[in-house]
Amino acid sequence: MVTLTAPHDHTPELTNAEVRRIRNDFPILGQRVNGHPLVYLDSGATSQNPTCVLEAEQEFYEQRNSAVHRGAHTLAVDATDAFEDARATVAAFIGATDRELVWTANATAGLNLLAYAFSNASVGDTGADARQFALGPGDEIVVTEMEHHANLIPWQELCRRTGATLRHIPILDDGTLDLDAAASIIGARTRILAFTHVSNVLGVINPVAELAALGHAAGAFVVLDACQSAPHLPLDVKALGVDFAAFSGHKMLGPTGIGALYGRAELLDALPPFLAGGSMITTVTLERAEYLPSPQRFEAGTQPISQAVALAAAARYLHETGMGRIHAWEAQLGQRLVAGLEAIDGIRVLGPAAGVERAGLAAFEVAGVHAHDVGQFLDAAGIAVRVGHHCAQPLHRRLGLSASTRASAYLYNTTDDVDAFLDAVAGVRGYFGVA
């Protein structure tokens, strides 16, 4: 069984010198873009991969490639061992057990799996244990105004299918959640409370334990979108007290095509399956089927085997670097981003001001210049950022915007990267003649 080695959180904080050494582990960062050294500040969308992750997936295909849980030959056994070791590694990375981690295609797939499983419990004879998940008219699902579409639309659709009502917790003008409103909205009718740990637009780090306590006091299931937290800060789903959590591999140094859904074991075992087919059954007749316990009951068909192995390599890399150290370094970069942007005329930073805790990202508006033009201007200087509504249209509408530009840092970014970005942003309005 693969285990996580002791992290380096007890060692001194990350420095530019160490980060420059870390950068050497990421082959893509050594290239030039449009004649400039690449400054990659789009890890909030997709992170880059260290060599160990690339090699882990390649090694699987070269040495172990086979179907898992299906064969008795040596390759099949080796592949199954690697696959399940990967599950145990990634589960330990978030403070869970291997029985509590379901492989999915990404976080969006995990959240949809959960929403559809809830609706499957709402129709037909699904058994007494499953009926705890059934929703109907009069029930409520509560989300927040800052949600990514992946943690909003599945719940909209669940309400449409079951007749439940969707409500939302508003944000304050500084971008933080209105916790007073949350306390009044979450109540006896609330069946599901779903919210993001870290806003992918505002950089706000939400008080998960406090919100989870509100949800559980109301008897609700608590669902966490951990896409922007699992890669960037120490995550312990048990300590946070959530019932379910979803995250994506491609945002935490892993490959695309894989993510995970965490759920408390007793809940996953009671939850009706979503996709049906091979690998997730015990007995099948021409009339009916009986299903395996979690996690296999949610993993029909051929699983993302090589991707799981590579994601485990990513989790080990992050763990050995030290998630506390990574979070502290990114917090510094986030503050440097915000303070620098606030000092530039015509820039409006979204979310908390400099000096207030936030993740290592900053979204902003440039007065008189569309976000897409800002992105193209920066790209010409070799700087990669994200532009658009970042799959958070309701939040942008609340902020009076249709789009913004976002710079998001990771453990391989230096203060030089941030400064190069700020120098370029300072020239945007002059270039477009609106300064």
Instruction: Tally Cβ neighbours within 10 Å of residue 176.
Output: 19
Whether 391 is catalytic is yes
Q: Which of 52, 159, 227, 391 is catalytic?
A: 391
Backbone CA torsion sign across 382, 385, 387, 391: positive
By the 10 Å C-beta count (0-12 exposed, 13-18 middle, 19+ buried), 97 is classed as middle
Give the SS3 label for residue 253: coil
CA triple 275-277-278, angle to 5 deg: 130
Give the SS3 label for residue 422: helix
From residue 323, alpha-carbon distances to 35, 41, 61, 96, 319 in Å are 34, 19, 29, 16, 6
**Could you give the CA distance from residue 269 to residue 272 in angstroms, rounded to a whole number?**
8
| DSSP code, position 318 | H
Element housing 21 (H / E): helix 16-23
Residue 174: which of 11, 350, 336, 293 has the closest Cα?
Answer: 350
| DSSP code, position 352 | S
Residue type, 367: A
Residue numbers annotated as active site: 391
